[in-house]
Chain A
Amino acid sequence: MARSVDRRPDDAVIEGHDVVKEYHTGEQTVRALKGIDFGIASGESVAVVGPSGSGKSTLLNLLGLLDVPTDGSVTLYGEETATFSRADRTRKRKDVIGFVFQSYFLIPTLTARENVEMPRLLDRTPERTRERATELLERVGLGDRLDHYPDELSGGQKQRVAVARSLINDPALLLADEPTGNLDRDTGDRILDLFDELRETEDVAVVTVTHDDYVATAADRVVRLIDGTLRGGE
């Protein structure tokens, strides 16, 4: 039954081989990922589906270079991520990866545009950043909400700001953790449509982690994560 579910594409952004991740909680060792293989090609759309506790978040953390595997290898453009220093990982995250979270995680004291600019705020290119942020917000349909603060926006609008933020550094990989989890179906649909559009126009691979099968239907490829192992998708 356990067959390799990945395509191991030549143009892979990030690949994993025999990836194991263990957590230590007190005396116990929890094996969250039990040796999985995966590969994300540039521009593709993958949904990772699984019940809670299946290791989805762990996988997402590894894909997002927020964590390193206990065993096995994760490579970013062929480079082994375990060899990166913490500062390297931070820089790669900034250059390659965009994040969208279930609860948006916008900074309440910054306007929509400032939130989008935020990942690049410390770069010394304020004008270019501002232009790009404005463009992205227009792109996600919030051109008229540039100077609104998060508490003046609806949930869907917040998530669209978050999507715009994730794209500010022109990432190759967009990681979305339950992006529609806090939204009603219509609004969620619009976010998923937005991902599809962006995938084409911005040439970004989108990995969506969800426990919702409905969300998964929007993706090109679905992988199921059950109890730390991958099962084939449709």
Chain B
Amino acid sequence: MIPWTRLFGRVPSMLVARRNVTRAKVRSGLAIAAIVIGVVAIGAIGAGGAAFKQSQLATLDDQGATNVFVLPGIDRDERTFDRTDVQRIEERIAPAGVLATRSGGGELRTREGTEPVSLTYLAAPRLVYDVRAGSIPTNWRRGALLSAGVADEYGLEPGDRVHLTRDGETSVVRVEAVVTGGGGVGGPSVLLPLELTGERRFSRLRVTTQSVERAESAAATLREEFNGRTDTLLVFELTSLVRLFRSIVNGINLFLAGLAAISLLVAGVSIASTMLMAIIRRRQEIGVLRAVGYGRRDIVRILLAEAALLGLIGTAIGLTLALLVTMAANALFLGGPLAFAGESLLYLAAAALFGIGVSLVAGVYPAWRAANDRPVEALRG
């Protein structure tokens, strides 16, 4: 308590302000509550939204935002790519890898019966998948790779043999490996070597890269190189989707924070009215201050200190609550209460600044009015 008192002793206008704030407890309390609501609204909505966005973006990255998908463009005569096309594309975008794929449906026969699975034919699985168990043969021409989902669901391991029905024909295939990753393109699926399709043409290519940025630049390169006057390639990347998502969430977040900001403006109005009440009730007192030699600027300073103190208390309480809400959001979306997204901190800081700023601005008019009240009139009451 002593340092607190000493601090207020150093700043005399704060001493007067503090005493005055405690004077009309209910009115001060309501003004503070208004600020608390505003700060919590901005802080919690902004920071919680930021945490949500961050978690969704991370999911999208997992879902293959590092991939670019290439299909034959509308100006291309053939609806498929051949090996030469693949090579040409590969040359342009090295070191990103190109994967020729074809997908289809099939059935997996197990003890419980036959289950539909998605089949993905691909050339170079190592580019995209991580091996969890078993190994991918160097020259992969036979045997299946199972995505972890399928393997877990049917209790299959490398070395097992499964009955697989494709295009109406059933064959026994050996499970070579269980793989994970793959940018989520397949989902739970069975991977088979491209050779098994018996074709040399591919309906769809996939370019895999290490990061969202690289995927973006690979897509840009492809569009530039192949789609001059004619669209020979149809290129799309999830990054554009990510960008869209990001701008939508940002927009919603800003809109909500804006709504919250309105609640802070209302808080400002409440502070202004509290201060106006205060100067009317204390008119004579302010007159005395003026009489004993307080300049107009001193009066402004004292009353602004009072408004700022209301704002400061409200902001401190509000920020604490907003921080708790944000930590809850962090725990929910980002895996830990302290995993603050950078943007969350920005929103919290903005809420604090806005809380104090609004109070100060709200204090200006009452302070100005009180300072310009002629002491003669004020003393008369």
Contact = CB atoms under 8 A, between A and B. Distances in A.
Interface of A: 57, 61, 64, 66-67, 86-87, 90-91, 93-95, 98-99, 101, 103, 105, 107-110, 114, 118-119, 121-122, 126, 165-166, 169
Given A108-B23, A109-B20, A99 B291 contact: yes
A99 B378 CA distance: 14
A87 B295 contact: yes
B237 to A, nearest CB: 65
B23 A64 contact: no
B293 A119 contact: yes
Given A101-B288, A105-B285, A109-B19, A121 B12 contact: yes
B156 interface: no
B9 A93 contact: no
A105 B288 CA distance: 7
Given A61-B376, A66-B376, A101-B379, A122 B294 contact: yes
Contacts of B10: 126
A67 B290 CA distance: 12
A64 B292 CA distance: 10
A119 B16 CA distance: 12
B375 A66 contact: yes
Given A66-B375, A105-B284, A169 B293 contact: yes
Interface string B271-309: 000000000000011011111111110100000000000
B13 interface: yes
Contacts of B287: 105
A101 B287 CA distance: 11
Interface string B340-381: 000000000000000000000000000000000011100110
Given A91-B295, A99-B291, 17 more contacts: A61-B376, A67-B376, A86-B296, A87-B296, A91-B293, A94-B292, A101-B288, A105-B285, A105-B287, A105-B379, A107-B16, A109-B16, A109-B22, A109-B23, A110-B16, A110-B19, A169-B292
Contact of B9 (A90, A109, A110, A126): A126
30 contacts: A64-B291, A66-B374, A66-B375, A86-B296, A90-B290, A90-B293, A91-B295, A94-B293, A98-B292, A99-B288, A99-B291, A99-B292, A101-B288, A103-B284, A105-B284, A105-B285, A107-B16, A107-B19, A109-B20, A109-B23, A118-B292, A119-B292, A119-B293, A121-B15, A122-B12, A122-B13, A122-B298, A126-B9, A166-B292, A169-B292
- Which size bracket describes the interface of B in this complex? 20 to 34
Contacts of A122: 12-13, 294, 298
A166 B291 CA distance: 10
A158 B339 CA distance: 59
A73 B289 CA distance: 26
A204 to B, nearest CB: 15
B240 to A, nearest CB: 62
B287 to A, nearest CB: 8
A151 to B, nearest CB: 12
Contacts of A118: 289, 292
A94 B295 CA distance: 10
Contacts of B294: 90, 119, 122
B19 A93 contact: no
Contacts of B379: 66, 101, 105
B264 to A, nearest CB: 28
Contacts of B289: 118
The 3 closest A-B pairs by CB, nearest first: A94-B293, A109-B19, A119-B292
B335 to A, nearest CB: 50
A14 B19 CA distance: 37
Contacts of A86: 296
Q: Which of B13, B292, B380 has the largest count of A CB atoms less than 10 A from its CB?
A: B292
A90 B294 CA distance: 7
Contacts of B13: 122
A222 B144 CA distance: 119
Interface in B22-41: 22-23
B295 A90 contact: yes
A90 B19 CA distance: 25
B293 A107 contact: no
Nearest to B13: A122
A98 B292 CA distance: 7
Nearest to A168: B292
B285 A107 contact: yes
Contacts of A87: 295-296
A66 B298 contact: no
A90 B296 CA distance: 9
A169 B291 CA distance: 13
A122 B336 CA distance: 49
Contacts of A105: 284-285, 287-288, 379
Nearest to B18: A109
B292 A93 contact: yes
